[in-house]
Amino acid sequence: MIKARLLSRRDSLVSLAILLLVVLIVAVSVVSPLLNQYERYQYELAKDARLLQQSGAVAKSKEELQQAYQAFEAQKLSGWLYDLKEPAAVALDVQRRVSAELAKNSGQLRTISLMPAKRKGEYLLVGVQVHFTADFDAVLQILEALETEKPLLAVDRLRLSPVVYRARAGEIERQQLDVQMTVATFVRAELEQGGGQ
């Protein structure tokens, strides 16, 4: 009888262990997809949070751009830009301004030529290539005048080389610079397309 009880107890423990194993397998098979779904949900929430943050940054930058444009208009900064429609007309005006500055500051113009317009995104880079000689102070005055007067011009490339002159006896040696530079400005590409029609 004791033996029968022990066997019955052992059978009930085995049955209980099998039942626990089956319950565990069922629980894992039910909970595993739920956990997988929860991880996907968390991933989607994080992705949506990033998109929301990016959208907020775009909206904020739009407001900042509008404020900058209003400040641009309020301060009349449009005077820094060319309002001519044709890039060729802008390039000719750049050539006129450079020639006038060279003449005003005793620069000796060797060559000046229009450079072909180059597209840079929404803008065209137009200007001139200049080769002249002048003393150091004149070169500084020319560069300052070109880069600070309205409409805005920029010295895109600049190459300076000393020019050696032989001084006669009793003469002070002249310090001259040979200057090769590109002076340019930007024109909106839409203006160029509209002007050509």
For the chain, the domains span 1-75, 87-196
CATH superfamily of 87-196: Ribosomal protein S6/Translation elongation factor EF1B (3.30.70.60)
Q: What is the 3-state secondary structure (H, E, C) of the chain?
A: CHHHHHHHHHHHHHHHHHHHHHHHHHHHHHHHHHHHHHHHHHHHHHHHHHHHHHHHHHHHHHHHHHHHHHHHHHCCHHHHCCCCCCHHHHHHHHHHHHHHHHHHCCCEEEEEEEEEEEEECCEEEEEEEEEEEEEHHHHHHHHHHHHHCCCCCEEEEEEEEEECCCCCCCCCCCCEEEEEEEEEEEEEHHHHHHHHC
pLDDT in tens, the chain (197 residues): 676 776 777 788 888 899 999 999 988 888 888 889 999 999 999 999 998 888 888 888 888 888 877 776 776 666 677 776 788 888 899 999 999 999 999 899 999 999 988 888 777 889 999 999 999 899 999 999 998 888 889 898 999 999 877 767 777 777 889 999 999 988 876 644 444 43
pTM over cut 0.75: no
